[in-house]
Structure formats: structure tokens, C-alpha cells
Amino acid sequence: MQHLAEREARLNLSQPEAVLAQRPGWDSETPLSLLNVIRNSEEMLSKPARQAWRALALFEPKPNSFSEAAALAVCGEGTRALDALVDASLIEVNERGRYEVHPVVRDYGRSKLMEEASDIRFVHYFAEWIVTHSKEWTLVELEAESVFAALTLANEAELFGPYMRGSECVLRIFGVAG
């Protein structure tokens, strides 16, 4: 089980299959693995949905969740792309109407993430979000993981303006700064 802590090991889990049980469009040598199933799902997406999914891989995986407004701001696509991802089971909608991404699906999306613009949208959205909603404790609790992920990314990417605004606000919320 220790080896499943690595992204590549999780994605390459497979199960042998009889030739008759193979999926349409897959050759007989293609094993039924998480990687191949996810890759097949990705190939069936439109380009906007594929880009949206890769951008949404910036969010922390389940049990974390995120709002539709956050998803739209970060992915830079419309609701049609989000609907396609839900239809393909690449993201889920929980009982509170918030989106979630499974850890393995997120791993694959992150391995394909190459668009710096998504990182910048993620950082700016949550830096502004925390400033705007700092007194709404219930919302802050729901978005805390995403806020912290955005601040970490801002620091790593040397986006110091949003990093400072967001960090100062977080420190005020938790009573650390005057």
C-alpha cells in the first residue's frame, strides 16, 4: 500500500481483462487501468472542457470542495465546460452544490497542467476572495483549503502582491496581526 502514495503508482493501477471485455476503441493490448480510463475520458472532452479540468486540478482534492464561482474564475471557461466535466465524472457536485475532484483524477489533471494563466487566476481569485469575505466565517471555513493553496502557490510563483494581500487578511482573521 505504501507505493500508492506516489501519483504515478495510483494512475497505473490496472486489471487484466479478457479480449471480449475490452472497451470499444481500445486495442487488445491496452490494459484497463485508471490511467487509461482517465485518459480516454479526457480524449472525449472538448478543448474548453479539457482546459477547465486541468485548471481545476489546482484545487485540493476531496474532501475539499469549491464553489461554482471559484471554478469559473479559475478555469476561465463557462458553465458548459463544468457541465461536461460533471457528465464525464471528472468532477462531482456534492450535497451542498459545491464541486469536488477525486485525488486520482486531480493527480492526472495536475500532470497535464501547463497553463500559467490558470495559476495566476487561482491566486488572484482567492487573494481577492479572502479580502472580500473575511467576515463571513462559514464561507471562510469552506474555502480555507483553497485560500491556503492559493497563498502557497502565490509565494512559490513570486506573485507577492496577491500573496501579501491574502496573507495579511488571513492573519487578521485568525487574530495574529493587529
Instruction: Please check the confidence at residue 162 and state whether its pLDDT lies above 90.
Output: yes
- 6 touches 13 (CB < 8 A): no
Mean pLDDT on 14-39: 66
Candidates 9, 87, 24; CA nearest to 53 is 87
Mean pLDDT on 31-35: 80
Instruction: Please check the confidence at residue 26 and state whether its pLDDT lies above 90.
Output: no
Instruction: Please check the confidence at residue 4 and state whether its pLDDT lies above 80.
Output: no
Residue-wise pLDDT for 110-160, tens only, equals 888 667 899 999 999 999 999 999 999 999 999 999 999 999 999 999 999
DSSP state of 59: S
- 105 touches 90 (CB < 8 A): yes
- 116 touches 50 (CB < 8 A): no
Sign of CA dihedral 57, 59, 62, 67: negative
pLDDT the model gives residue 23: 57
Separation CA 5–CA 105 (nearest Å): 14
Whether a cis peptide bond, with omega within 30° of 0, leads into 16 is no
Separation CA 82–CA 88 (nearest Å): 10
Banded pLDDT at 60 (limits 50, 70, 90): very high
Backbone φ and ψ for 78, nearest 5 degrees, come out as -90, -175
Q: What is the pTM of this model?
A: 0.79
pLDDT the model gives residue 35: 84
Higher pLDDT, 68 or 3: 68
Classified by CATH at the fold level, domain 2-112 comes out as: Arc Repressor Mutant, subunit A (1.10.10)
